[in-house]
Structure 1
Amino acid sequence: MTGKRTIAVMQPYFFPYAGYFRLLAACDVFVIFDDVQFPRRGRVHRCQMSPGRWLTLPLAPMPFVTLIKNLRWASDARSTLDKRLAVFGLPDRAATPVSERISRYLTGPLGDMTGYLEEGLRLTADALDLEPEILRSSNIDIDPTLRGQERVISIVQALGGQRYINAPGGRSLYEAEAFREAGIDLHFLVPYAGRFPYILPALCGDHLADLRDDVRTTSRWTA
């Protein structure tokens, strides 16, 4: 797809802004980083619907050090989520095949929490015509004691990658020299300045072609 085998590693976000999916557009293998600590103020469990308004998944109380792969639903998750969806008028009348699929996803069985997040990412990738291989980091055989960039480098090497693409906010986390010594090119996406900061409303609307174009045309990277 991209000349060099390109890997991206990112926590599974719940319907993040469109710029997130540029990673899936730019890579050959997208790794769901599920064996890292759950960021309680991040986007793993919540989706921004409009400025200052969030749709949050109902999680069970868990220790601060809980890994993403070990997240669990609250005991009343289904009824609570239904009420939270209703605040945003979801699910509304499905006007397109994509919005119909999203409605079934949002109102269907919750099952495994990480599986639910992965399903949402796969559903969105499919709607945007993105076709990277999608894997979970917890299923990749690497040294479990590795942390930080050493862990990411090990994941890329285990997958035979020669290029690693990261979100623009990750520049402070990685050193190009360490990747170079491992035989990996390190690149970062340019900051997202597209039209779709709130992807769930966009997916449920009638601007899917514009959304696809937005993700692909903004999927540029720099050193």
Structure 2
Amino acid sequence: MTGKRTIAVMQPYFFPYGGYFRLMAACDVFVVFDDVQFPRRGRVHRCEMTPGRWLTLPLAPMPVDTRIKDLRWADDARSTLDKRLSIFGLPGQVATPAAERISNHLTGSLGDVTSFLREGLRLMADALDLKTDFLRSSSLDIDPALRGQARVIGIVQALGGQRYINAPGGRSLYAADSFRQAGIDLRFLVPYEGRFPHILPALFGNDLADLRDDVRNTCHWAS
């Protein structure tokens, strides 16, 4: 699927729905978009476990304009997260080495918030046998004045990308002509209609082969 060097740029969600991981299946480099404003109603800090029930990371109160890379844990984050995990019976019994690694990640040292989120995504990519490279947008020398679409284009160009792949929800954010003028092919995935809208329960309760097949079999570009 990646005849052209393909870049995906996405905020680091906390163990998101299965469809998110299709971006990793479709790209050569997955950029953790961490130098943008933290969306307080999004999925960066919370994971939907069952419809309407969320596992939320214990973050310290911070100003509205805080960037993702500057997020901090609450003082009692480790004990609070342990209690919140236990509500959902996590980590519980682990049946695969991949699930064990993710269990250790959830219950181990927290480190900084963005590294914790990135490592969770990397571990899931390994579990799903996705071979993309990971890096953080804050590690790139991108003009800080660039915003929105222009910033994404700058990231793709900095990485020598010829194609940018995005989730279907990005259609309202990006203009194909602007990417074309920059020498970049803009593509979107089709909406996710797979079996795993809640990835953590699926990871601990299903055969990983089912998850892998779901991500790969639903990873199609929109026409």
Q: TM bucket by the smaller chain?
A: over 0.9
- The answer for the alignment partner of 2:164 in structure 1 is 164
Deviation at residue 15 of structure 1 after TM alignment: 0.3
1:134-149 → structure 2 map (5 Å cutoff)? 134-149=134-149
Indicate if the aligned counterparts of 2:93 and 2:204 stay in contact, CA closer than 8 A.
no
Q: In structure 1, what is the Cα distance between the partners aligned to 2:111 and 2:195?
A: 33
Cα deviation, residue 52, structure 1: 0.8
Specify the alignment match of 1:103 in structure 2.
103
Aligned-pair identity in percent equals: 78
- C-alpha displacement at 1:105, in angstroms? 0.8
Cα deviation for residue 206 of structure 1 reads 2.9
Matching residue of 1:150: 150
Is residue 120 of structure 1 aligned with residue 120 of structure 2? yes
Tell me, in whole angstroms, the C-alpha distance in 1 between the residues paired with 2:116 and 2:43.
14
Q: Could you tell me how far 1:60 is from its partner in structure 2?
A: 0.1
Aligned length: 223
Q: Equivalent residue for 2:131?
A: 131
**Alpha carbons 1:8, 1:166 under 8 Å: kept:** yes
Q: TM-score normalised to the size of structure 2? A: 0.98
Residue 93 of structure 1: how far off its partner (Å): 1.9
Q: Distance in 2 between matches of 1:158 and 1:222?
A: 25
Cα distance in 1 for residues equivalent to 2:16 and 2:8: 16
Q: CA deviation at 1:180?
A: 0.5
Q: Is 1:64 aligned with 2:44?
A: no
Secondary structure (helix, strand or coil) at the match of 1:211 reads helix
Q: In angstroms, what is the RMSD of aligned CA positions?
A: 0.8
Paired letter, 1:56:
T
Contact 1:102 1:204 in 2 (8 A): no
* Larger deviation, residues 167-176 vs 94-103: 94-103
Aligned to 1:85: 85
Segments of 5+ residues of structure 1 without an aligned counterpart are: none
How far apart are the structure 1 equivalents of 2:154 and 2:103?
A: 38
Q: How far did residue 222 of structure 1 move? A: 2.1
